């Protein structure tokens, strides 16, 4: 099933590029919503694996949407994965060196990179 929704605020990449960086208050609000969205996915055993500025859409009314689940997958608790995918600048070290990794931790690593770039 494909669901389409209009995100009139563009993506987070263009917002950060336009302003250079976001204020701490803007970052806190947006990042909190992204973290809640990723937590929602993880609670349902969905691993995104490509969290980056380009994949965060803004709806123009303060809403944040996570998009592009093209390399996502379902995982079980404590499952080890060895597939390398995603955007190189946001990859966790264990993904970069082709070793096995616990899936949810690579999304958390990407969130850290995302937070750094936003500020």
Respond yes or no: is residue 50 known to be catalytic: yes
Nearest to 118 by CA among 40, 38, 49, 30: 30
Q: Which candidate in 50, 54, 59, 107 is catalytic?
A: 50
3-state class of 17 per DSSP?
A: helix
Tokens of 67: 């998009």
* CA–CA separation, 112 and 118 (whole Å): 10
As annotated, the active-site residues are 50
């Amino acid at each position: 099933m494909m669901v389409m929704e209009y995100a009139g605020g563009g993506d987070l990449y263009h917002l950060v590029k336009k302003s250079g960086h976001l204020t701490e208050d803007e970052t806190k609000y947006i990042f909190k919503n992204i973290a809640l969205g990723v937590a929602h996915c993880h609670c349902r055993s969905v691993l995104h694996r490509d969290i980056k500025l380009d994949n965060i859409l803004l709806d123009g009314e303060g809403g944040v949407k996570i998009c592009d689940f093209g390399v996502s997958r379902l995982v079980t608790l404590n499952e080890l994965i060895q597939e390398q995918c995603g955007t190189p600048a946001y990859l966790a070290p264990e993904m970069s060196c082709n070793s096995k990794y616990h899936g949810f931790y690579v999304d958390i690593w990407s969130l850290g990179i995302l937070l750094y770039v936003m500020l």
